[in-house]
Amino acid sequence: LDKVILVIKINGAYKELTLFSKLKFQYKRNIPVLNKVLKKLPSGIDDIYICKHHIGEIYIFCQLLDEYIKVNKSKNPLLIIPEKRYITLYNMFCPNINKLFINLNPMKLDRQICNDVTNYKGHRFFVPIPDRFTHLRSLIFDNDSHIHFYDYMKEKMGIKEKIASFKPASISDKTKEKVYKHAKQIGLNLDKFVIFIPEAVTATELSETFWIKLGNYFASQGYQIYVNTSAKKSTSSPENLSEYSNWEKKIPNAILDFTSFDEIYYLAELSKCVVALVNGLVVNFAQINVPRYFIYSNQTKTIGDRMDADLMLNAYRLDYLPGCNTKNLYEINLNEKCEKDTIQYIIRTYNNICKETF
C-alpha cells in the first residue's frame, strides 16, 4: 500500500503519523476553553495573554508583562483575567493594558493548555509556565537552592532584558474612598494601627499564642490590630468563624476583617506595620514603605512534597525582587527563630524603628 501521512495539528505544531492507507486525514484540535475566549474577543486583537497562577505569581507576571509583550512582538494584545477575585489585582499592576474578564475553569485550563504558546484559529495564546511551577519545584528539590522564582519566571517568559525596578501599584481614588468609609464603619483608627495576616494556604500556620502575645504588645502601645482573615468572608460558615472569633476577646483593640486586594494593599500602605505569615498576598507588599515582618515556615503538603522554611526563603525571598523596598523589611526564617524569639525580635526591632522615626 502507498504511504499516507495523517497530519495532526496540536497547539500549533503539526505531528505526522504514517498510515498504510490511500486516504489522507487532517485533524484540527478543538480547545473549548479557548473557544470561549474567542467568542468574546474584541475585533483587532492579535495575541491573547492568560496567567493561570495565583496572587504572588500574578504580581510578578504583571511586572514582566510589558517586556513579555515586546519579546513576542504583539501589536494589539489582550490580557484575559480568568478569575473574578483577581480583577482588582490586575487593575493595580496592569492599569494600561487592554483587559477582559472571562471566567475560565482552572482545571480545564490545566487540562487543555499544556504549552507556553498555543497557535489557535488565527491567534496566539500565551500562557506562561503552564505546568504551575512543577519544574521549578523539582529544581529546588534537586539541591539547586539558589534559584529564585522571579528569575525562573523571567527565563520562561523569554525575557533577557534586566528589569531595573517594578511598577508601583495603581490605587484609584474610588478604592481610597471605600477604605476610608469602611474603616469608619468598623471603627478602625487609620492613624495608629498594625496589620496581622495569619493565614496561608500552603504554609504551616503559627500558633494562636504567637498572634495573641504579639497583639497584646501592640495593643499596650496604643495600636489597633487589623487582622486580615478569610474567616470573615461573607460566605464563611459559622464553623470557620469560630476559629478566630475569640481573637477579638483575647487581643485588645483587635478588629477581624476581610477585604479586596486593592483595599488591603492601601490599608497596608496606611498602617504602621505589617506582620504576616508568608503567602502570595505579601509578595505584592514588596514596595510599600512601612515596617514589614514576613515569616517563612515549612510548607504544608497541599501541593506535593513540601519545602522547608530554608528552601522557601531562598526561592521566594522578597528582597531579591527589583525595586523591592528593603528598608525595614524583615524576612524571618522560623527554622532559625522559635515563635518566642520571633516575638522578641519583632518587638525589639520595631521599638528601634520608632525611636529613629521620632
Cell, residue 188: 478602625
Q: Could you report the per-residue pLDDT of 281-333, keeping only the tens digit for each?
A: 999 999 999 999 999 999 887 655 678 899 889 889 999 999 899 999 999 99
Residue at grid coordinates 498602617? 271
Confidence at residue 27, expressed as pLDDT on a 0 to 100 scale: 42
The answer, yes or no, to whether residue 3 has pLDDT greater than 50, is no
Q: Could you report the per-residue pLDDT of 131-183, keeping only the tens digit for each?
A: 777 777 777 777 655 789 999 999 999 999 888 889 999 999 999 999 999 99
Cell, residue 229: 482573615
Q: Could you report the per-residue pLDDT of 238-282, keeping only the tens digit for each?
A: 555 445 667 778 888 899 998 999 999 999 999 999 999 999 999
Burial of 93 (0-12, 13-18, 19+ CB in 10 A): buried
Q: Could you report the per-residue pLDDT of 185-207, keeping only the tens digit for each?
A: 999 999 999 999 998 888 888 99
Instruction: Write the CA distances from 149 to 78, 82, 86, 204, 320, integer angstroms.
Output: 25, 22, 20, 20, 10
Confidence at residue 305, expressed as pLDDT on a 0 to 100 scale: 63
The answer, yes or no, to whether residue 216 has pLDDT greater than 60, is yes
The contacts of residue 182 (CB under 8 Å, 6+ apart) are 188, 259, 263
DSSP-assigned beta bridge partners for residue 228? 257
Phi, psi of 262 (to 5 degrees): -70, -35
Burial of 50 (0-12, 13-18, 19+ CB in 10 A): buried
The answer, yes or no, to whether residue 7 has pLDDT greater than 50, is no
pTM metric for this prediction: 0.86
Phi, psi of 322 (to 5 degrees): -60, 130
| Amino acid (1-letter code) at residue 316 | Y
Q: Calculate the dihedral angle through the C-alpha atoms of 197, 199, 205, 211, rounding to the nearest 10 degrees.
A: 30
The gap from C-alpha 261 to its chain's centroid, in whole angstroms, comes to: 10
Lowest mean pLDDT among 3-7, 109-113, 232-236: 3-7
Rounded to whole angstroms, the Cα distance separating 292 from 286 reads 9
Which string of b and e fits 121-150 if b means at least 16 CB within 10 Å?
Answer: eebbbbbbbbebbeebbeebeeeeeeebbb
The answer, yes or no, to whether residue 72 has pLDDT greater than 60, is yes
Confidence at residue 131, expressed as pLDDT on a 0 to 100 scale: 76
Confidence at residue 11, expressed as pLDDT on a 0 to 100 scale: 47
Q: How far apart are the first and last CA of the chain?
A: 90
The answer, yes or no, to whether residue 26 has pLDDT greater than 60, is no
Question: What mean pLDDT, rounded, does the chain reach?
Answer: 86
The answer, yes or no, to whether residue 236 has pLDDT greater than 50, is no
Lowest mean pLDDT among 15-24, 58-67, 318-327, 347-356: 15-24
